[in-house]
Homo-oligomer: A and B are copies of this chain.
Amino acid sequence: MRRMINFKVVARTLGILLLIEGVAMLTALLISLIYGESDLQAFGIASLVTMGTGGLTYLATKNASFDIGKREGFIIVSLVWVVFSFFGALPYTLSEAIPNFTDAFFETMSGFTTTGSSVLNNIEELPHGILFWRSLTQWLGGMGIIVLSLAILPVFGIGGMQLFVAEVPGPTPDKLNPRIRQTAMSLWGIYMIFTVLETILLKLGGMTLFDAINHSFTTMATGGYSTKQASVAHYDSAYIHYVVIIFMFLAGTNFSLSYWGLKGQLNKVYKNEEFRAYSFFIIAFTLIITVGLYFSNWGGVERSFRDSLFQVVSIITTTGYATADYLVWPPFLAAIIFLLFFFGGSAGSTGGGIKIVRIVLLLKNSYFELRRLIHPNAIIPVRYNKRSVSDQIITNILAFFMFYIIVFVLSVLIFTIIEPDIKTSVGAVATSLGNIGPGFGKVGPVENFCNVHPFGKWFLSFLMLLGRLELFTVLVLFSPAFWKK
């Protein structure tokens, strides 16, 4: 009945994308050239291998019909992150910045998925090219996510993403290609504007241009890689902290809202239910933690407020920068931070996790179920942005949430086999699945993932991919129905 899966166009698309990755490596090579450092050769070889593989694949699939359906879409999206991470790991291994391939793959997957978990203990000793490549993987990952969440996932019908289609700039989503192109261009423009703006502001705050660019890249991607071992805590500057907070907040906001905001249609922003909930959660949790920190003698009011706000925004947007170690906070406050691991940014942002819109709809549906119990014959639809949401979308979001919980629980179980400390297991799994970065226990914000068992690194890499692609995109590939003719 159904046509065969068009593997040729899958390969061809991946070939084109690999060519792009190879070109991206050349920009890192340029940095090596500028600083005259030893990683030049690594980037040269890596770029050649990547572009070579991409080019050959492209040429070998010349006769492919350009017929991309949903199923090809699922396969391409799932594969591109894996393929990019394999080739993207080359500069690390070739330059011996990260000699071990498992570690290098973990670092690259953590980059492209904008997670930000790292195996590096010696960040400040690494050559500039390598650090730039590390930040660039996140920035490119962020670009990929914007297209994915605002143009591709709504067409796939994943997890209620259809809800935002009407609000996204660009034509209606009947054909994949024109939509992707036009939406991508509009929103990438905003992504770039914000990146440049943050770079300027960080530079003005005393960062070197290099550090400012890198931090802007990883802020806008909600990635959280830093060029400093101590993350943003390295900079003892309230100005820098607040600048980073503002741009993390923007990166965790739906980019189509920023688009409308910049076009002067601020009422579209204010009236957006997800934006209001996102802002509300940040304010509420920041206030609670501020009070908690202040009364546990963490510091003055401003310091307590700033550290609370920074950590809350960093975790809820799934960026993962740190200016304070929440593991040394009172357990109640650390527990709030852990709770935030299951929120995530807005849909259509670069943030990962469950996403605010889903949390809002889940809470609303549960509350409405109580009302339905009292009035069993009344029809009480859940509304979102004043429109009623179909049962189908609610069921889909609830299924997403269930999958998230199931994957989380089973993964923790599996992880306990290699990691006896349950806090570490829970933290590592939650942070990977939510694309956040730091975890709990031995993988807290002042630690890193270098001591995790190799199996654990591959496993967490898989979880990063799963979380980044909203679970369904990857899980659907494991469903027999997907492959049936």
- Chain A interfacial positions (CB closer than 8 Å to B): 70-71, 156-158, 330-332, 334-336, 339, 362-363, 365-376, 391, 394-396, 398-403, 405-406, 409, 412-413, 416-417, 419-423, 425, 472, 475-476, 479, 481-482
Contacts and interface: CB of A to CB of B under 8 A. Distances in A.
In terms of DSSP, what is the predominant structure of the interface of chain A? Answer: helix
A356 B165 CA distance: 37
For this chain, the copies found in one complex come to 2
A156 B370 CA distance: 11
A369 B160 CA distance: 12
Nearest to A423: B422
A420 B336 CA distance: 13
Contacts of A409: 339
A339 B416 CA distance: 13
A332 B479 contact: no
A370 B475 contact: yes
B403 A366 contact: yes
| Nearest 4 interchain pairs by C-beta | A369-B399, A398-B398, A332-B416, A366-B399
Contact of A339 (B331, B398, B413): B413
A481 B335 contact: no
B373 A156 contact: yes
Contact of A335 (B71, B405, B422): B422
Contacts of A472: 369-370, 373
Contacts of A412: 335
A334 B412 CA distance: 12
B413 A365 contact: no
B413 A374 contact: no
A424 to B, nearest CB: 10
B413 A332 contact: yes
A395 B391 contact: yes
B479 A370 contact: yes
Contact of A374 (B332, B391, B476): B476
A394 B392 CA distance: 11
A355 to B, nearest CB: 15
A374 B363 CA distance: 27
A482 B373 CA distance: 9
A370 to B, nearest CB: 5
Given A369-B399, A369-B400, A405-B405, 11 more contacts: A335-B416, A335-B425, A363-B402, A369-B395, A370-B475, A371-B479, A371-B481, A374-B476, A374-B482, A398-B398, A422-B423
Contact of A396 (B156, B369, B396, B405): B369
A114 to B, nearest CB: 24
A479 B374 contact: yes
A295 to B, nearest CB: 12
Contacts of A420: 330-331
A271 to B, nearest CB: 25
A423 B479 CA distance: 36
Given A371-B481, A405-B405, A395 B157 contact: no
Contacts of A423: 422
Nearest to A400: B369
A338 to B, nearest CB: 8
12 contacts: A157-B373, A362-B402, A367-B479, A369-B399, A369-B472, A370-B481, A373-B472, A374-B476, A374-B479, A374-B481, A395-B398, A405-B405
A71 B423 CA distance: 43
A70 B373 CA distance: 9
Contacts of A158: 373
A412 B426 CA distance: 15
B476 A370 contact: yes
B157 A365 contact: no
Nearest to A394: B395
Nearest to A403: B366
Nearest to A292: B417
A406 B406 CA distance: 16
Contacts of A371: 479, 481
B336 A374 contact: no
A475 B369 CA distance: 11
Nearest to A401: B402
Contact of A373 (B375, B402, B413, B476): B476
